[in-house]
Amino acid sequence: MASANGYRLSGWWRRSFSQMSLFYKFFYGTILIVLSVLLLSSAASYLYTRGIFEKQAAAGAARLVDNINQGFEDNLDQVDRIIMSMYSDAENNNSETSLREVLSPEPFRSLPEQYAANLAMQSFFQRLLNLRSDFNSVYIYVAPDKQFSYSVYGRAKWPYDPTGEDWYRSTEAAAGRTVISAPHLPFQLSYDKKVISFSRVLKGFSSNGNENDGVILIDLSMDALTNIVKKAKLGETTGVVLLNESGRTIYSSDSELDELPPSLISRMSGSPNGSFSAVIAGKRYLLSYSTLTVTGWKSATLTPYTEINQAGNRLLSVYLLLGLAGLALTVFISFLFSKKIFRPIQHLKKGIVQVKQGNFDVQLEQRSQDELGQLVFSFNVMVDTIRKLIVENYEEQLARKNAEFKYLQSQINPHFIFNTLQIVSGMAAVHKVPDIGTVSKSLAKMLRYSINMQTSTVPIRDEIENVICYMDIQKLRFRGFFDYDLDIDEEAYRYTIVKLILQPIVENSVTYGLEGKEQGGRVRISGRLDDGHLRFEVYDNGVGMTPEETKSLMASIVSSEAGPDRPPADGRSAGSGHSVGLRNIHHRIQMIYGPEYGLAIDSAKNEWTRVVIRIPAQEGGETA
């Protein structure tokens, strides 16, 4: 059904295009070309711009990773500076209580000594916390009775023993390296906001410099990480997610991104950096990620495609507006240009119409010297030549043809023949010879049908009745050796057919197919309506043809070469002296209905021959 609709649509388009004037073909063609270029350029620009913004998003993710790396390195450097300042204070003997004494593993000897140590550490902590606004707390553990804690926010937990916690064990196992802990609630404080911790072992305060003297823990507020993210200057809708080594989210700038799907986490774990498209909570993002060199965490930016496409859509709108303006200008210029070019063609067309109507005195004005001007000049010369030929030859030849035609008409008067056949029919009835009456009536009908050439197509019933008359005559001729069958659908009688195409084909079947058969000859004429087309078959059980002979006969039929019909090797002819040849029938069908219609022949030697006629179903009506 779809193919049939497509075929009809294609046929409608071809007919519409063929009926369109050359002016509009050129005009619409120019607009179509410009419109195609505009659409292709706009689409290419949109895709190119979208690619640029995707690259910018990936570059933003790289900047974020660099900023976070640099921020953590700066914090590590500051932790190192703090520890170095502690060593510097420890060597300062001018102070009342040195840090070396405070941080040594030796227990306090008295409460005043402990109080003095606390004051010294409090002074040191205050100096540290004033260095940065995002410092939240500093905690030093040396021994259970030597713990020092100072915080801006939160309240210290007492008693507190860090030696059994993971952060303490990780710090001792780091062998002097600074350990960064992911955002968490403070270990040693009662505080409801997360912090980022930097921890490191302390060495060199006791007599043996290789032994651990304690652990320092510095907590930074989440503002430290937030400021690092802000420095990357990402889009307003771009989200940032930090994942630890196990893939758990340790920081998220948007609550919707707190829990990433496991498939995305698994995909990111396969490489240190990259980018791909991801769908989270029904929203599509461009996910770009990289690995932090300082911590081994994954830093990921998730930019909604709505943000990426927004700038591209704005640019596309600008392109479309410019394209529409260009298209309007193209329409205006194309119309003027086409009108200028095709005005001489319209002028020439009017001259051709006048010549078609019989006015051979027309002479067109040659307004240019280009190809169109030369065409007008050639037209004027042609019309002048035709006019001279008409005067010199055409009228003379026409008079001669008219005289010959009248002479031939006088030779055979149809009315005389009809009257004679009626006399023969009457005599057959008087003498009781019905066969003669049948032949005379059938012949009279065939003659009347043949000479009435007012139309090229007739109702199918008329054509079938003419075939029946012919077959009745042949049955009398081949008495007892020949018969025929008719199998025509009643629905087919609603349509018309080219006049005098069935009888010549039947005549070929009888003359060249059945005359060589001594008995049992039969011709079958069938007609069917097949998918909007009429299909007629003339089948005989005569002498048949070989495949080579059939192919040669079809080549002769479809050939456009003019001339008398030439029979193939077995003597089968395309027609007889009193009928239209198969080639002429084939070409008449194609001239009236189109090149896709006509005759087709297949045969089997000494068995049968079938001629198939295919024409479109065109309604006409039945005759009485």
Question: Which tops the pLDDT comparison, 374 or 60?
Answer: 374
Closest among 290, 275, 282, 274 to 306, alpha carbons compared: 282
- Examine the pLDDT at 60 and tell me if it is beyond 70: no
H/E stretch holding 80 reads: helix 22-90
444 falls within a domain:
no
The model's confidence at residue 582, banded by pLDDT at 50, 70 and 90, is confident
Range of the domain at 529: 476-558+578-623
503 falls within a domain:
yes
Same domain, 498 and 600: yes
H/E stretch holding 485 reads: strand 482-488
Residue positions counted in the chain? 624
Sequence-distant (6+) residues with CB within 8 A of 108 are 114, 117, 145, 146
Question: Which tops the pLDDT comparison, 306 or 406?
Answer: 306
Closest among 502, 550, 545, 543 to 526, alpha carbons compared: 502
The model's confidence at residue 191, banded by pLDDT at 50, 70 and 90, is confident
Instruction: For residues 602 and 548, give the distance between their C-alpha atoms in angstroms, rounded to a whole number.
Output: 11
Q: Are 280 and 261 in contact (CB under 8 A)?
A: yes
Q: Which residue is it, tokens 């008398």?
A: 564
Structure token pair of residue 33: 């070309």
Q: Which residue is it, tokens 């409608």?
A: 12
- Examine the pLDDT at 267 and tell me if it is beyond 90: no
549 falls within a domain:
yes
Task: Over range 258-268, report the average pLDDT.
Answer: 83
Share of the chain above pLDDT 90, in %: 9
Residue 218's pLDDT is what? 87
Task: Over range 146-165, report the average pLDDT.
Answer: 85
The model's confidence at residue 598, banded by pLDDT at 50, 70 and 90, is very high
Closest among 334, 323, 324, 326 to 27, alpha carbons compared: 334
DSSP 3-state of 420: helix
Q: Are 600 and 478 in contact (CB under 8 A)?
A: no
Sequence-distant (6+) residues with CB within 8 A of 329 are none
Question: Taking the mean position of all CA atoms in its chain, how far away is CA 564?
Answer: 53
How are beta strands 457-459 and 533-540 bridged, if at all?
unpaired
Share of the chain above pLDDT 70, in %: 76
Instruction: For residues 513 and 402, give the distance between their C-alpha atoms in angstroms, rounded to a whole number.
Output: 40
607 falls within a domain:
yes
- Examine the pLDDT at 491 and tell me if it is beyond 80: yes
Question: For the chain, percent helix, then strand, then coil, each to nearest 5?
Answer: 55, 20, 25
Residue 410's pLDDT is what? 47
- Examine the pLDDT at 411 and tell me if it is beyond 50: no
Instruction: For residues 571 and 534, give the distance between their C-alpha atoms in angstroms, rounded to a whole number.
Output: 30
How many other C-beta atoms lie within 10 A of the C-beta of residue 236? 5
Same domain, 598 and 521: yes
Same domain, 525 and 606: yes
Same domain, 490 and 618: yes
DSSP 3-state of 314: helix
- Whichever domain contains 591, its CATH number is 3.30.565.10
Task: Over range 591-608, report the average pLDDT.
Answer: 90
Structure token pair of residue 2: 């779809």
DSSP 3-state of 333: helix
How are beta strands 179-184 and 189-190 bridged, if at all?
unpaired
Closest among 85, 188, 74 to 134, alpha carbons compared: 74
Same domain, 491 and 613: yes
Same domain, 527 and 610: yes
The model's confidence at residue 573, banded by pLDDT at 50, 70 and 90, is very low
Structure token pair of residue 189: 């404080």
Sequence-distant (6+) residues with CB within 8 A of 216 are 79, 82, 83, 86, 138, 139, 140, 199, 200, 202
Question: Which tops the pLDDT comparison, 71 or 491?
Answer: 491
Same domain, 499 and 593: yes
Same domain, 496 and 613: yes
Residue 524's pLDDT is what? 94
How are beta strands 608-616 and 212-221 bridged, if at all?
unpaired
pLDDT in tens, 497-513: 988 889 889 988 888 88
Sequence-distant (6+) residues with CB within 8 A of 32 are none
Residue 331, burial from CB neighbour count under 10 angstroms (0-12, 13-18, 19+): middle
Same domain, 395 and 491: no
Residue 90's pLDDT is what? 58
Instruction: For residues 156 and 118, give the distance between their C-alpha atoms in angstroms, rounded to a whole number.
Output: 14
For the chain, the domain total comes to 2
Same domain, 405 and 507: no
Same domain, 491 and 619: yes
253 falls within a domain:
no
- For residue 297, CA distances in Å to 159, 161, 241, 256 come to 33, 28, 10, 20
The model's confidence at residue 91, banded by pLDDT at 50, 70 and 90, is low
* The dihedral sign for the CA sequence 55, 57, 63, 64: negative
Instruction: For residues 505 and 520, give the distance between their C-alpha atoms in angstroms, rounded to a whole number.
Output: 20
Residue 568's pLDDT is what? 41
588 falls within a domain:
yes
pLDDT in tens, 515-558: 777 678 899 999 999 888 999 999 999 888 999 999 998 888 88
Beta bridge partners of 201: 215
Instruction: For residues 195 and 360, give the distance between their C-alpha atoms in angstroms, rounded to a whole number.
Output: 104
Instruction: For residues 392 and 41, give the distance between their C-alpha atoms in angstroms, rounded to a whole number.
Output: 63
Question: Which of 370, 386, 411 marks a domain boundary?
Answer: 411
Instruction: For residues 400 and 510, give the distance between their C-alpha atoms in angstroms, rounded to a whole number.
Output: 39
329 falls within a domain:
no
Q: What pTM was computed for the model?
A: 0.44
188 falls within a domain:
no
Residue 248's pLDDT is what? 85
pLDDT in tens, 1-12: 556 666 666 666
How are beta strands 239-243 and 249-252 bridged, if at all?
antiparallel
Question: Which tops the pLDDT comparison, 88 or 171?
Answer: 171
The pairs formed by 23-26 with CB atoms below 8 angstroms and a separation of 24 or more are 23/338, 23/339, 23/342, 23/345, 23/346, 26/338, 26/341, 26/342
Same domain, 386 and 492: no
